Amino acid sequence: MTPEEYETIKTHTEIGAKILAGDRFPLLRVAEEIALYHHERWDGTGYRGLQGESIPLAARIVAIADVFDVLTHARPYKSPRTVEEALAEIGNQRGRHFDPQLADTFVKMMKSTDLQNLLEGVQLASGGRTHIGALSESPA
């Protein structure tokens, strides 16, 4: 990707925020904030340069979920990683890309036996038609 292409890609945060801007509903105001800041990094090297707790909490949470999703799903340019590999990467990026406390909480939650049991139950109830089973299966 060229530097010009990367700059174009980065505009998706502003475009998303503009689409969601100006609404009176609190949930959509949070969505606007998430759209604008979900590519900020804890260490300040994100799209806009916000750092640490100056990044809105909702955007810090979505950043972790977004990276987990990207890591565990195939893209035209990469194969999916296992859940274990994705969790290890999130742990490795604590304090750099991610809020360390949120990264630790996410990894702990994803490894929770209670969560595993809940997700297996949801998958059974849905006839296996969801992606939720990815937590207990490795990609083919």
What is the C-alpha to C-alpha distance for residues 96 and 103, in angstroms, rounded to an integer? Answer: 11
pLDDT tens for 19-29 read 999 888 999 99
Percent of the chain with pLDDT over 90: 72
The residue extents of the domains of the chain are: 61-135
Residue bearing the bigger pLDDT, 20 or 140: 20
Answer yes or no: is pLDDT of 35 > 80.
Answer: yes
Percent of the chain with pLDDT over 70: 85
Taking CA atoms, 93 is separated from 13, 40, 83, 103, 132, in Å, by 21, 13, 15, 8, 24
Axis crossing angle, helix 100-110 with helix 83-92, rounded to the nearest 10: 160
Beta carbons within 10 angstroms of residue 106's beta carbon:
21
- The average pLDDT across 8-13 equals 95
- The average pLDDT across 43-63 equals 97
Give the pLDDT of residue 128: 56
Give the pLDDT of residue 123: 64
Answer yes or no: is pLDDT of 6 > 70.
Answer: yes
pLDDT tens for 82-136 read 989 999 999 999 999 999 999 999 999 998 877 777 777 766 666 655 454 445 4
The closest of 99, 66, 73, 68 to 86, measured between CA atoms, is 68
Helices (H), the chain: 3-20, 26-37, 57-72, 83-92, 100-110, 113-125
Give the pLDDT of residue 134: 47
Residues 6+ apart with CB under 8 A from 50: 37, 40, 44
